Amino acid sequence: MILNSLFTVSCALGVLCSVKTDTASLRAKFSKLGIDAVFPGDLSYEKLATPFNKRLTYIPAAIVYPNSTEAVSESVKVAVDEKLSVSPRSGGHSYGSYGLGGANGALVVDLSRLKTVSVDQSSGQAVIGSGNRLGDLAIGLHSQGGRAIPHGECGYIGIGGHAAFGGFGLTSRMWGLTLDNIISQEVVLANGTIVEASQKSNPDLYWALRGAGASYGIMTSMKFQTHSAPSEPINFEIQWDFDHNDFANALMNFQVFCRSNLPAELGVEANLGQGSQPGRLNFALSGAWYGDSSKFPAVIQQFLDEMPVPSKRIVKKTDWLTSLQGLAGFQASPTSAEHDTFYAKSLTTPQSVPMSKSSIQAFSKYLSSEGWKTDTNWFVQFKLYGGQNSAVTSVAKDATAFAQRSILWTIQFYASSSNFAPPFPDAGFKFLDQMVSSILKNNPSGWRYGSYANYVDDRLSSAEWKTLYYNTQCQNYCPSYQRLAQIKSDYDTQNVFAYPQSIKKTSATGTNEKFEAFDKGENFSPVKSNGSSIRTSTSQELLFPFFYAMPADGSQSLS
């Protein structure tokens, strides 16, 4: 690798390709523009280019730090002139390291200096810069009249990517997803033009940005409709230690509970992991209640009546910010550090057809056995998105590009290396694949499941991710990949905003064909921690059987 005036890397996409960037030219251009930039060979480069998920490491051509929308625009123009793909980075928390481009040689536009949080007191609308992390955002909104928006519990996640692909939090059953609360966005397009996207201005772009945002431009700021933060939320965490049979019964009880007439003021999830000894499993019910505190005991007792005495129980009335801090502590993730080395998968389950008893039993038995044999640190989360009275499922299917509306749960399956550092064990992939398979192969063949795009599974084929992220839950209408592809053709003809799972335009031609292999249904791994480039075969016919009767582009909606 040459790290002076000519930067050369090989694309880690299973085929060798050269990415040659004149670093001296780039450095001169950004210096002239007054935009801070870091390049390979600079002292701070390695730290700034280290991803959250160290399983997937890439080498950007440069990382730039614009401090205004205009500077973002100039950065994009430079990238186009240099024939570089562009990757916006908000918090840098992408599971697939897509904030670094998902391949070597991208220009990373780091948005961390765009941190406006400004609330209009008369309307309750807030302008929020895309460089804000959720923790800072929550504090900033609350300090201006006690306002809030729905978002996740992990405070270090950036709002940009979070809002672009969904954004779920425990208030979402009351207020909807993060993206459901966006009124408008300020966006830098592939030619450097700065536009507004809203219901009245560029409505097609506004639709696409709310569900597939990173494929179309860089959202530098968003205007949100905020809500009055609950004054006295109740946080709770209740745990049990089970063998696999009792664990399966608990999960079935949880499913019945989630499908009952639960108030929207309840946010709840089940966090699953290893129990007290081999063969046993921990079942932790955690969440928050945002309604009248006197009504909470009756709501939660519906579930507790079907369960044995818990091994641990915490129920605490608190204030809004303390509640958020406490919920972050309830997260099942084994580490909240700056970096991890992991693989994750997800399922969104249909609200109309619950998981079968046999699938829950098979899943529980698998965790009880294989969950103690693996050398990974793992957890599983069952997050209640839907159920009766949920604002998430009340949004029309064609309102946004987020396709997962008719769902009950989003399930996250997550495994880290034993010490949270590289390398990630090859057996860890099989462990999660078979965990998901234990559910899928024991449910009806027509069971309409999907996946959540913010829980990036980088090993999905092109047909799989297009369908799982964007074409699930389809009946008479589906916010389909075809519509997204047409909008991509309209706004990014040169495929400037490209990464392995970015929306591809309707035409296969273009100047940026870096990810062509992915559209051919091939899957390639990035550079391993030892620097080698490997190809990973990921035929998953047992995991995703209904894809293999579909066209290769995965565009046919399920009916």
The residue-averaged pLDDT of 60-84 equals 98
pLDDT of residue 472: 55
Is the per-residue pLDDT at 225 higher than 60? Answer: yes
pLDDT of residue 530: 34
Q: Are residues 193 and 341 in the same domain?
A: no
Q: Are residues 148 and 254 in the same domain?
A: no
Is the per-residue pLDDT at 6 higher than 60? Answer: no
Is the per-residue pLDDT at 522 higher than 80? Answer: no
The two beta strands, 218-225 and 182-188, are antiparallel
The residue-averaged pLDDT of 315-321 equals 98
**CB neighbour class for 520 (10 Å; exposed up to 12, middle 13-18, buried from 19):** exposed
Yes or no: say if 224 and 125 are a contact pair by the CB < 8 Å rule.
Answer: yes
Yes or no: say if 177 and 130 are a contact pair by the CB < 8 Å rule.
Answer: no
The residue-averaged pLDDT of 285-302 equals 98
pLDDT of residue 518: 42
Q: Sheet holding 281-289: strands in order across?
A: 312-317, 234-242, 281-289, 266-274, 377-384, 407-416, 342-350
Is the per-residue pLDDT at 25 higher than 90? Answer: yes
In what helix (H) or strand (E) does residue 86 lie, and over which residues does it extend? Answer: strand 86-89
Is the per-residue pLDDT at 333 higher than 70? Answer: no
Q: Are residues 51 and 168 in the same domain?
A: no
The residue-averaged pLDDT of 360-382 equals 99
Q: Are residues 257 and 360 in the same domain?
A: yes
Q: Is the dihedral of CA 546, 550, 556, 559 positive or negative?
A: negative
pLDDT of residue 108: 99
Q: How many structural domains does the chain have?
A: 4
Is the per-residue pLDDT at 551 higher than 60? Answer: no
Q: Are residues 393 and 503 in the same domain?
A: no
pLDDT of residue 22: 83
Give 114's Cβ-side CA count (13 Å radius): 31
The residue-averaged pLDDT of 95-100 equals 98
Is the per-residue pLDDT at 504 higher than 80? Answer: yes
Residues 539, 97: Cα–Cα separation, whole Å:
22
Residues 256, 250: Cα–Cα separation, whole Å:
10
The encoded tokens of residue 548 equal 């293999």
What is the per-residue pLDDT across 424-457, written as a single tens digit (0 to 9) for each? 999 999 999 999 999 999 999 889 999 999 999 9
Predicted confidence band at 461 (pLDDT cuts at 50, 70, 90)? Answer: very high
Q: Are residues 328 and 440 in the same domain?
A: yes
Domain encompassing residue 144 = 117-228
Q: Compute the CA torsion angle 444, 450, 455, 461 (nearest 10 deg).
A: 90
SS3 state at 270: strand
SS3 state at 367: helix
Residues 510, 83: Cα–Cα separation, whole Å:
12
**Domain termination site, one of 470, 491, 511:** 470
